[in-house]
Structure 1
Amino acid sequence: MLLGIIAGLTTCALWGLTFVAPRAVAPFTAWDLTIARYGIFGLACLVLMIDRRFRPAGMAPSRLLVGLLLGGAGYVGYFVSAAFAVQLAGAAIPPVIVGTMPVLLAIIANIRDRSAPWQVLAFPLMLIAVGVAIVNIATIRTADPSTKATITLGILASFVALAIWIVYGLANAAVMQSADAPDGLQWTGLQGIGAALGSLLLLPLASFDLVDTASISDVANFAGWALLMGLGGSWFATWCWVIASRRLPLVLSAQLIVAETLFGLAYGFSFEARLPSSAEAIGAALQFVGVCAAVATFSKRPIRPVAKFISRMNASQRRPHER
């Protein structure tokens, strides 16, 4: 179990980098980082496929297409949305909004299966809503009037990232719940190639002019972050999560996902060299407690449909992040 906890926290620590990496690579842009990150991810997956254990062999053409599309749309779409969210809205808002994902997936499962009374969920859901609202309202109120529109766009980008994450998660879970579910690492490799192909579509948006104007230190910094996000935040994080989901009970592995929010906030505030404001701290704490309470409510109920749904989600999650 200790190895599972370490692996799960490692995954969340790497996924949390999604909320600081786009700002850390300046003067390079989020487009540049997306292209480099997923190009490296896809290349790593191709190299691993030299070993037949990593090859998605025996999959139907339709399944291969789904895997490529999930990688292209899910990974790239999520990371681009999250990247612009942190650039526009700052350190606190995006991790708090995206951090509601475990509960929203459980709610979707509950709507479908009616496995938990809604009155039991009312209190944790209220905590989450209040926490998210406090962070958003406080950030907008304290912002300079000229930046309020920018922050609002960042909030919208955060919700877009959350929506992409959920749609990806549901589609991915449907594949992993099928009778002929693919091997986890083979499925990850296929999606890694899809993410690389999807990132190629962004090449026209790359900052090619920086090749001549960026300093050597800027290029080295960008290369380091691209390698970290491509190899660490994508492939290695997924592998760690597979280990965690296989070694930990559902009640623990589901709640470990919430650690991504804490890592994301910590990275963001460290990057901005500041402590969270009282409103940010209170709002994030309410959201964290609410998510933990809601996930625990689902996890401790002996209802198979929801338990199976969340367990499959835990075993099959691949982040744009990053994850």
Structure 2
Amino acid sequence: MIIGIISGLTTCALWGLTFVAARAVAPFSPIDLAVSRYGLFGLVSLLLMLHPSFRPVELSLRRWSVGLALGGLGYVGYFVSAAFAVGLSGPAIPPLVTGLMPVILPLIAHLNEKAVAWRRLASPLLLIASGIAVVNLGTFADVSSGDRTKVLLGVGLSFAALAVWVVCGLANSAIMRNDENAPDSLAWTGVQGIGALIGSILLLPFTSLSTQTAFTAPQVETFILWSFLMGFAGSWLATVLWVIAARRLPLSLAAQLIVAETIFGLGYGFLFEARWPTLTEAAGAGLQIAGVCLAIAVFTSSTRNRMGGTNIGALDQVQSSSELSVSTSSKTSTGA
């Protein structure tokens, strides 16, 4: 379980770069970065498939379809929505709207998994929801009335990104937690990479290539650097780590870890703008962190209790078998 938690948190640190990457490559557009990032993700996946260990040879046609959709619609759709949302509403609101996922997804997942009692799950979810509400309300209150239409459009795109993430999270977890027929982590990442490559190709007509925009050498160098960072670390490596987390953790816990993406996203945004968070931003982030820590404690305790119960049951069975053996031996030796 510890490996799953570490993998999930590292993934969130890499995914959090999404909320600053599109601004860092300006004047290149978010679509330019999406095409280069996911094109590189797909090319890395294809090159790795030259080695047999990375080939998805046993996947059914249905699994291929789901994997390609997760890569194309999920990754590309999410990134484009989130990137444009940041451009419209600033660095704080989009990561906090998508931060609703740790509240929504556990509620959906818990209907099937029942990993812990509802009363134990309520406290961390309440802290996370409170943190999101505090920061969103505080940020929106500081926006001038003239910019609120643009901000609302950014909020709408943020909710679109959230919807994509919820659907993709449910689909990916359902496949990776299928104990009998779960695909190999590296092979499954490769399939999603190919889907992302297809999605990036479809976006080519909407890039700056069609406008013949002139860029300076430093701007091109920055764009290439961020493309490699987001393509390899933010996409391929993050997907491998998240697949590992999805395999090892209940979806109820894995989804709550995603709030760390919100925290990292906010932190990167503040660093990019070279400012400290406001009081409401700091208070909301603190509530969210407390909620995640409590969720980890709740699920870790539940897992240990189940393992302890299993071990006690096994010891009881061994003890009963030993007593039966001794009793049988005694009866045999006395001629009973």
Q: Which residue of 2 aligns with 1:82?
A: 82
Q: Which moved more, 1:283-292 or 1:183-192?
A: 283-292
Q: Which residue of 2 aligns with 1:225?
A: 226
AA partner of residue 140 (structure 1): F
Q: What does 1:4-83 correspond to in 2, within 5 Å?
A: 9-83=9-83
Q: Which residue of 2 aligns with 1:259?
A: 260
Q: Secondary structure at the match of 1:301?
A: helix
The Cα shift of 1:126 comes to: 3.0
Q: Is the 8 A contact 1:42 1:195 kept in 2?
A: yes
In 2, Cα distance between equivalents of 1:243 and 1:288: 22
The Cα shift of 1:122 comes to: 3.6
Q: Secondary structure at the match of 2:276?
A: coil
The Cα shift of 1:116 comes to: 4.2
Q: Is the 8 A contact 2:173 2:247 kept in 1?
A: no
Q: Is the 8 A contact 1:97 1:132 kept in 2?
A: yes
The Cα shift of 1:279 comes to: 1.1
Q: Is the 8 A contact 1:98 1:162 kept in 2?
A: yes
The Cα shift of 1:142 comes to: 1.0
AA partner of residue 29 (structure 1): S
Q: Which runs of 5+ in 1 are unaligned?
A: 305-323
Q: What does 1:169-184 correspond to in 2, within 5 Å?
A: 169-178=169-178, 179-184=180-185
The Cα shift of 1:240 comes to: 4.1
For these two proteins, the number of residue pairs brought into alignment is 304
Q: Which residue of 1 aligns with 2:327?
A: none
Q: Which residue of 2 aligns with 1:163?
A: 163
Q: Is the 8 A contact 2:96 2:136 kept in 1?
A: no
Distance 1:150 1:292, change over 3 A: farther
CA RMSD of aligned residues (A): 3.0
In 2, Cα distance between equivalents of 1:116 and 1:12: 24
Q: Secondary structure at the match of 2:16?
A: helix
Q: Is the 8 A contact 2:99 2:262 kept in 1?
A: yes
In 1, Cα distance between equivalents of 2:100 and 2:73: 21
Q: Which residue of 2 aligns with 1:269?
A: 270
TM-score between both structures, scaled by the size of structure 1 = 0.83
Q: Which moved more, 1:242-251 or 1:95-104?
A: 242-251
Q: Is the 8 A contact 1:103 1:294 kept in 2?
A: no
Q: Which residue of 2 aligns with 1:203?
A: 204
Q: Which residue of 2 aligns with 1:317?
A: none
AA partner of residue 261 (structure 1): T
Q: Which residue of 2 aligns with 1:282?
A: 283
Asked if 1:185 corresponds to 2:220, the answer is: no
In 2, Cα distance between equivalents of 1:296 and 1:14: 24
Q: Is the 8 A contact 2:103 2:256 kept in 1?
A: no
The Cα shift of 1:185 comes to: 0.7
AA partner of residue 29 (structure 2): T
The Cα shift of 1:136 comes to: 1.4
In 2, Cα distance between equivalents of 1:301 and 1:109: 16
Distance 1:140 1:290, change over 3 A: same
Distance 1:125 1:256, change over 3 A: closer
Q: What does 1:238-249 correspond to in 2, within 5 Å?
A: 238-241=239-242
In 2, Cα distance between equivalents of 1:50 and 1:107: 41
Q: Secondary structure at the match of 1:20?
A: helix
Q: Which residue of 2 aligns with 1:235?
A: 236
Q: Deviations over 1:95-114 (max 9, x none)?
A: 22323433432211222355
In 1, Cα distance between equivalents of 2:7 and 2:114: 32
AA partner of residue 177 (structure 2): Q
Q: Secondary structure at the match of 2:170?
A: helix
The Cα shift of 1:227 comes to: 0.9
The Cα shift of 1:18 comes to: 0.8
Q: Which moved more, 1:118-127 or 1:63-72?
A: 118-127
The Cα shift of 1:82 comes to: 1.4
TM-score between both structures, scaled by the size of structure 2 = 0.80
The Cα shift of 1:152 comes to: 1.7
Distance 1:197 1:238, change over 3 A: same
